[in-house]
């Protein structure tokens, strides 16, 4: 078991990483204030892990809320089911919500905790690689709106994040790769040596080798914790975590939520950000190729969807949250490990990036 | 014009009080960061003041959102109309929401600001006495849930509160009295000399005499700002602001939202809290009578609704937010000006309070 601390101005919390933590009350107990606990999960995760967690928390008055599964349900009507469950069982301000599931469950449970009686405690128990290395760290919570992803939410920190690496055994391979997109991202934005480590251990990670998994999760969470600790409300450096996300969100929105997994869209989006950085002269061709090879080794899509053209991308990117005062800001790389957030690029470079032949680029990258 | 500052650990903001501020850009300009502004108001207030405020803010890109009027609309579906308006007009993270209206508009607009893109700026322009002296100060925002009032919300501070006392000229007399219930409350909980001032100026206040109004609003806001500044998240002394509110919420819930105005329910609820304090030996009979006379002079109901018995009260009070770990906490007075929050009272005293003959009490109070 490894413990990491996320340091924030007014609030800090630990992340525990290890096998079998789901069955160990010692990781939960110090972070539960009252006698009431509500476990929020979904129909896919409930049959796998709900009983075990209920057994661990048998000493508390436990309410369970089982939501439908999927990004399409990350919206108000589903959130309301959490409030209904809490109010029906008369949970008071000292209750603790526990999010058992992936990013959607974590985001909705965190937002419910932020809003219920104007704020109660919550604990994250992420069961997907993506949520373990990304959404469970940093306090972003919220729901989607028909006109945009994550448009309604709060910055709200958990009391603790408890990562049981054994839960990845039930994760579909496509979702494992999607999680690896965010793992690789940390190397690109701020940790070049981590890229070398990932190149050496990608096969172990895909085979769920426990030591490699723990190392990758810890290093990813540490990178994110460092960045979030420096900039909780995303006024500066935190925005670098969105490498590949502006392009990726355009893909998710255009294809319809859930058709491409978030991590898959980030994978292809990251290739576009690398391509644009190279086009600006900020990355060498060798660095671009190295990046594409690593993403492809994680079995991620490295080519944007064929049905999308440059105009589609521009249209979707105009409502992205990263637009301030009408100027599009993008996360780009000045060397591997050196992310910058900038609106200082010629419009033509962006358009050329959107029109580039990614199939050909991937072919060239593979030739090394 | 008078300016008060609300001091909070991480956030402070000014309250401006005076006649005609609605038409004066100088009070708005320093608190608007970007070029986008969204005015949120309701169907009653819009015909009275929306044009004037739009004229004042003519230099900005202004979106207006006009909601249906009433506590019954303080719920998610109405809140969604604000998000729809913001997203349709492509408001970004630098937008400023302006709440133009009473407490319901302020609570919903504040909560929308807390949640939109995980938090944007907002300014309160309260147009009722109640919202000027109570809900616009302190950062409580939120909506109702079918199972309870204000069950979903956030603590979120405005950039500024701009109180134009001239807006009270269009306020129905019943709502003026309801606002006076909260004004009087500040005297009861922490400012005994203010009670003496109110006894001397109640007729001026009911006649909307500008100097008296400004003084009463400023003194009320100052009292609330002091208490909120000492305890933003309501972990201690802030709870004293709920004098009369636990009994009052039971009245509002039982009668149906909006049948009794919030301030009316607080008026009768405060009489009950005074009666219980007297019954515990913490207030003299003369103090109890003085309190009842002052509330009656403000033309407030001082007798709980005839259709409610002790069992009705107990049932509704059990789901009140002031219940922690199943123990009912009440705000009571140890002398006028000395509020305490306590669960330390015999159950019988509470039940006797709920069964007391308030009609007779009011008769006795009037005999002085």
C-alpha to C-alpha distance for B366 and B302, rounded to whole angstroms: 12
Interface of A with B (CB under 8 A): 10, 34-35, 76, 80, 83-84, 87-88, 90, 92-94, 114-119, 140-142, 145, 147-148, 150-155, 233, 318-319, 321, 323-326
pLDDT of B298 reads 98
Write out pLDDT tens, residues B27-72: 999 999 999 999 999 999 999 999 999 999 999 999 999 999 988 8
pLDDT of B135 reads 78
Residues of B annotated as binding site for Zn(2+)? 182, 245, 262
CB contact set of B277 (below 8 Å; sequence gap of 6+): B283, B288, B332, B333, B334
**CA–CA distances in Å: residue B92 to residues A151, A194, A320:** 10, 35, 9
CA distance B165 to chain A (A): 30
Q: B245 an active-site residue?
A: yes
Buried b (16+ CB within 10 A) or exposed e, B90-126: bbbbebbbbbbbbbbbbbbbbbbbbbbbbbbbbbbbb
Residue with tokens 């003041």, as numbered in its chain: B49
- Given an 8 Å threshold on Cβ–Cβ distance, is B155 in contact with A76? no
Measured over the CA atoms of residue B37, residue B41, residue B43 and residue B49, the dihedral's sign is negative
Residue with tokens 């349709």, as numbered in its chain: B88
Measured over the CA atoms of residue B64, residue B66, residue B71 and residue B74, the dihedral's sign is negative
**Is A16 in contact with A161 (CB distance < 8 Å)?**
yes
Same domain (yes/no): B258, B244: yes
State the best of A77, A115, A246 to mutate against chain B, taking most chain B CBs within 10 Å. A115
Query: Which residue in A94, A119, A154 is closest to B118 by CB distance?
Result: A154
ipTM for the whole complex: 0.83
Q: B11 an active-site residue?
A: no
Q: What is the dihedral of CA B51, B55, B59, B62, to 10 degrees?
A: 0
Same domain (yes/no): B242, B226: yes
Whether pLDDT at B226 is above 60: yes
- What is the β-pairing status of strands A339-342 and A330-333? antiparallel
Same domain (yes/no): B331, B342: yes
Residues of A annotated as binding site? 69-74, 103-107, 127-128, 140, 149, 167-170, 182, 245, 262
- What is the β-pairing status of strands A96-101 and A121-126? parallel
C-alpha to C-alpha distance for B325 and A36, rounded to whole angstroms: 9
Using an 8 Å CB-CB cutoff, list chain A residues near B321: 92-93, 117
CB atoms within 10 A of CB A264: 22
Same domain (yes/no): B9, B139: yes
Buried b (16+ CB within 10 A) or exposed e, B251-270: bbbbeeeeebbbbbbbbbbb
**Is B97 in contact with B38 (CB distance < 8 Å)?**
yes
**Phi (first) and psi of residue A195, to 5 degrees:** -65, -40
C-alpha to C-alpha distance for A359 and A88, rounded to whole angstroms: 54
**Is B298 in contact with B271 (CB distance < 8 Å)?**
no
pLDDT of B148 reads 86
Among chain B residues, the shortest Cα distance to A320 is held by B92
- Given an 8 Å threshold on Cβ–Cβ distance, is B324 in contact with A93? yes
The structural domain count of chain B equals: 2
Same domain (yes/no): B148, B231: no
- From the list B185, B219, B245, B329, the catalytic residue is B245
**CA–CA distances in Å: residue A131 to residues A26, A99, A175, A294, B233:** 22, 11, 11, 21, 30
Average the pLDDT over B172-186 and give the result: 96
Write out pLDDT tens, residues B304-329: 999 999 999 999 887 655 565 568 89
pLDDT category at B340 given cuts 50, 70, 90 is: very high
Whether pLDDT at B12 is above 90: no
Average the pLDDT over B249-263 and give the result: 89
Out of B140, B170, B200, pick the residue that ends a domain.
B170
Same domain (yes/no): B74, B177: no
Same domain (yes/no): B94, B19: yes
Instruction: Please give the DSSP secondary-structure letter assigned to residue B150.
Output: E
Among chain B residues, the shortest Cα distance to A116 is held by B152
Residue B4 backbone class (left: φ over 0; alpha: ψ -120 to 50; beta: rest): beta
pLDDT of B136 reads 74
DSSP state string for A153-219 = EEE---SEEEEEGGGGGGS-HHHHHHHHHHHHHHHHHH-HHHHHHHHHHHHHHHTT-HHHHHHHHHH
- Given an 8 Å threshold on Cβ–Cβ distance, is B153 in contact with A94? no
Residue with tokens 């079995």, as numbered in its chain: A299
Residues of B annotated as binding site for NAD(+)? 69-74, 103-107, 127-128, 140, 149, 167-170
pLDDT of B137 reads 81
Whether pLDDT at B230 is above 90: no
Among chain B residues, the shortest Cα distance to A87 is held by B147
State the best of B80, B96, B118 to mutate against chain A, taking most chain A CBs within 10 Å. B118
How high is the mean pLDDT of chain B?
93
Same domain (yes/no): A249, A361: yes
pLDDT of A6 reads 85
C-alpha to C-alpha distance for B309 and B315, rounded to whole angstroms: 10
Same domain (yes/no): B103, B183: no
- Counted across chains A and B, CB pairs separated by less than 8 A come out at 92
Same domain (yes/no): A226, A126: no
Buried b (16+ CB within 10 A) or exposed e, A169-187: eebeeebbbbbbbbbbbbb
Using an 8 Å CB-CB cutoff, list chain B residues near A76: 76, 80
Among chain A residues, the shortest Cα distance to B116 is held by A152
C-alpha to C-alpha distance for B101 and B78, rounded to whole angstroms: 15
- Given an 8 Å threshold on Cβ–Cβ distance, is B117 in contact with A323? no
The residue ranges of chain A whose pLDDT is under 70 are: 9-10, 232-235, 319-326, 367-368
pLDDT of A210 reads 85
Using an 8 Å CB-CB cutoff, list chain B residues near A249: none
**Is B79 in contact with B143 (CB distance < 8 Å)?**
yes
- Burial of A342 from C-beta contacts in 10 A (0-12 / 13-18 / 19+): middle
**Is B129 in contact with B208 (CB distance < 8 Å)?**
no
How many CA atoms are closer than 13 Å to the CA of B208, on its beta-carbon side?
Answer: 15
pLDDT of B366 reads 82
Same domain (yes/no): B140, B242: no
Which CATH number does the domain housing residue B190 bear? 1.20.1090.10
Which CATH number does the domain housing residue A7 bear? 3.40.50.1970
Q: Which of A281, A248, A240 is nearest to A266 (CA)?
A: A248
Interface of B with A (CB under 8 A): 10, 34-35, 76, 80, 83-84, 87-88, 90, 92-94, 114-119, 140-142, 145, 147-148, 150-155, 233, 318-319, 321, 323-326
How many CA atoms are closer than 13 Å to the CA of B100, on its beta-carbon side?
Answer: 30
Within chain B, strands assigned E span: 2-6, 13-18, 36-42, 61-67, 96-101, 121-126, 140-145, 148-155, 160-164, 323-324, 327-328, 330-333, 339-342
Query: Which residue in B87, B116, B154 is closest to A115 by CB distance?
Result: B154
* CA B349-B319-B83 angle, 5° bins: 145
Same domain (yes/no): B277, B204: yes
**Which domain range does residue A358 map to?**
173-366
Q: At what angle do helices A245-255 and A310-317 cross, to 10 degrees?
A: 110
Write out pLDDT tens, residues B272-307: 999 999 999 999 999 999 999 999 999 999 999 999
Q: At what angle do helices A262-279 and A347-355 cross, to 10 degrees?
A: 130
**Is A301 in contact with A268 (CB distance < 8 Å)?**
yes
Q: At what angle do helices A192-206 and A285-297 cross, to 10 degrees?
A: 30
Instruction: Please give the DSSP secondary-structure letter assigned to residue B303.
Output: S
Out of B170, B196, B231, pick the residue that ends a domain.
B170
Residues of A annotated as binding site for Zn(2+)? 182, 245, 262
Average the pLDDT over B244-272 and give the result: 92
Out of B146, B170, B194, pick the residue that ends a domain.
B170
């Amino acid at each position: 078991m490894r413990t990491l601390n996320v340091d924030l101005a007014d609030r800090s919390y630990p992340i525990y990483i290890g096998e079998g933590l789901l069955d160990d009350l010692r990781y939960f107990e110090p972070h539960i204030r009252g006698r009431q606990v509500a476990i929020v999960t979904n129909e896919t995760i409930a049959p796998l892990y709900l009983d075990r967690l209920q057994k661990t928390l048998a000493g508390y008055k436990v309410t369970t809320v089982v939501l439908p599964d999927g990004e399409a349900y990350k919206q108000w009507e589903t959130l309301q089911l959490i409030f209904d469950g809490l109010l029906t069982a008369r949970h008071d301000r000292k209750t603790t919500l526990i999010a058992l599931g992936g990013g959607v469950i974590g985001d909705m449970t965190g937002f419910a905790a932020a809003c219920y009686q104007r704020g109660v405690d919550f604990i994250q128990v992420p069961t997907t690689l993506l949520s373990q290395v990304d959404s469970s760290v940093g306090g972003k919570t919220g729901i989607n709106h028909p006109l945009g992803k994550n448009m309604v939410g709060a910055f709200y920190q958990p009391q603790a994040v408890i990562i049981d690496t054994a839960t990845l055994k039930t994760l579909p391979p496509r979702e494992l790769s999607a999680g690896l997109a965010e793992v690789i991202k940390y190397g690109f934005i701020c940790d070049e040596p981590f890229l070398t480590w990932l190149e050496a251990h990608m096969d172990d990670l895909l085979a769920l080798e426990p030591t490699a998994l723990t190392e990758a999760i810890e290093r990813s969470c540490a990178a994110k914790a460092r960045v979030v600790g420096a900039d909780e409300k995303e006024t500066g450096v935190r925005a670098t975590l969105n490498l590949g996300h502006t392009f990726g969100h355009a893909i998710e929105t255009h294809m319809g939520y859930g058709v491409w997994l978030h991590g898959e869209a980030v994978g292809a989006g990251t290739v576009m950000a690398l391509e644009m950085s190279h086009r600006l002269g900020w990355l060498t061709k060798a660095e671009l190729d190295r990046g594409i090879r690593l993403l492809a080794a994680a079995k991620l899509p490295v080519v944007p969807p064929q049905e999308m053209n440059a105009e589609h991308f521009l249209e979707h990117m105009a409502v992205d949250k990263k637009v301030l005062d009408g100027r599009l800001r993008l996360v780009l790389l000045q060397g591997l490990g050196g992310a910058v957030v900038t609106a200082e690029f010629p419009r033509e470079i962006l358009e050329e990036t959107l029109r580039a032949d990614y199939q050909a680029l991937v072919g060239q990258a593979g030739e090394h």
